[in-house]
């Protein structure tokens, strides 16, 4: 257990949790301009980081690897969908639903493992998946519509994590984000041109503080990722699994107490089912990890 790793992890997920408050300060910027700005200023910030950290050589080595480069391009497209959906939800008063998406995400990750990696789930894991499906149905019936924002966020980030695992440790955090945003830069530029020709751009038109905050989207995108990368090298995966719930919990609290979004009974029931599913999944993970550790210790003792 590393104290610095714990601090890095808590810092990363806390920053991700308070992102809705940051984006709300950027009014009247719309979601399409905001995401495009986030992509481009993240690319600029990453380029500066590569220069300061002397990371251009490893970055270029990664970029020249055709398979890794294309994989990062696909990952970039998924994170673009995730960012666009997330910011759309935040700016349209649906912060609670964005939190739901990140609560569901761990269960979606398990679900993807079954379909794409042919993983066999334990009974308890199937129970958590079933509870999450029931929760979505309850929320859909209560809201008279499918919670699309939550589902798109959960699946886009789930697939993003799945694809990132394909490249494993061959890509560090800064090089990875640089490559992803480099792939997305042309799309972001087109998006800015379209917004400029229709609704009009807000950057440089509101106030110096607004412009500075918009430019700062590059920093608030990269810094949590770097903290997360540092934490993941210092903490066991099971601790990262617990701390990942900091972000959606904070987002949920922002939606309820800052945005004063409605929480009717059926919404509470849906969230409670999701939380029960997460408790079941997390408990099963802890028990399985302890059993695995005991088995390794026994094997090691037997071999001595």
Mean pLDDT score, 198-222: 92
Give the span between the Cα atoms of 211 and 208, in whole angstroms: 5
Q: Is 27 helix (H, G, I), strand (E, B) or coil?
A: coil
More confident residue, 195 or 199: 195
Predicted confidence band of residue 182 (pLDDT cuts 50, 70, 90) = very high
Tens-place pLDDT, residues 60-101:
998 999 988 999 999 999 999 999 999 999 999 999 999 999
Q: Write a three-state SS string for 67-124.
A: HHHHHHHHHHHHHHHHHHHHHHHHHCCCHHHHHHHHHHHHHHHHHHHHHHCCCCCCHH
Instruction: Compute the mean pLDDT over every residue in the chain, rounded to the nearest whole number.
Output: 87
Task: Answer whether 30's CB lies under 8 Å from 91's CB.
Answer: yes
Residue 26 confidence (pLDDT) above 60 = yes
* Residue 38 CA: distances (Å) to CA of 18, 26, 42, 79: 16, 12, 6, 12
Tens-place pLDDT, residues 247-276:
899 999 999 999 999 999 989 999 999 899
């Amino acid at each position: 257990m590393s104290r610095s790793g714990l601090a890095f992890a808590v810092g990363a997920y806390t920053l991700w949790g308070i992102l809705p408050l940051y984006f709300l300060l950027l009014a009247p910027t719309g979601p399409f301009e905001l995401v495009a700005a986030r992509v481009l200023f993240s690319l600029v910030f990453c380029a500066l980081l590569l220069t300061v950290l002397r990371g251009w050589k490893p970055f270029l080595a990664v970029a020249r690897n055709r398979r890794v480069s294309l994989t990062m391009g696909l990952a970039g497209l998924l994170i673009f969908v995730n960012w666009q959906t997330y910011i759309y939800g935040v700016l349209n008063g649906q912060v609670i639903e964005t939190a739901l998406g990140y609560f569901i995400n761990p269960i979606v990750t398990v679900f993807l493992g079954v379909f794409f990696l042919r993983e066999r789930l334990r009974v308890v894991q199937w129970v958590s998946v079933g509870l999450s499906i029931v929760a979505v149905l309850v929320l859909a019936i209560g809201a008279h519509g499918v919670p699309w924002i939550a589902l798109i966020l959960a699946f886009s980030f789930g697939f993003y994590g799945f694809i990132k695992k394909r490249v494993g440790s061959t890509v560090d955090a800064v090089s990875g984000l640089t490559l992803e945003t480099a792939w997305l830069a042309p799309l972001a530029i087109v998006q800015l041109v379209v917004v400029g020709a229709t609704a009009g751009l807000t950057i440089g038109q509101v106030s110096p503080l607004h412009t500075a905050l918009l430019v700062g989207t590059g920093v608030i995108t990269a810094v949590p990722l770097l903290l997360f990368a540092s934490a993941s090298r210092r903490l066991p995966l099971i601790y990262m699994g617990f701390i990942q719930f900091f972000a959606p919990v904070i987002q949920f609290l922002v939606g309820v107490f800052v945005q004063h979004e409605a929480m009717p009974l059926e919404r509470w029931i849906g969230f409670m089912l999701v939380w029960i599913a997460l408790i079941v999944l997390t408990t099963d993970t802890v028990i399985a990890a302890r059993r695995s550790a005991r088995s390794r210790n026994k094997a090691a003792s037997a071999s001595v």
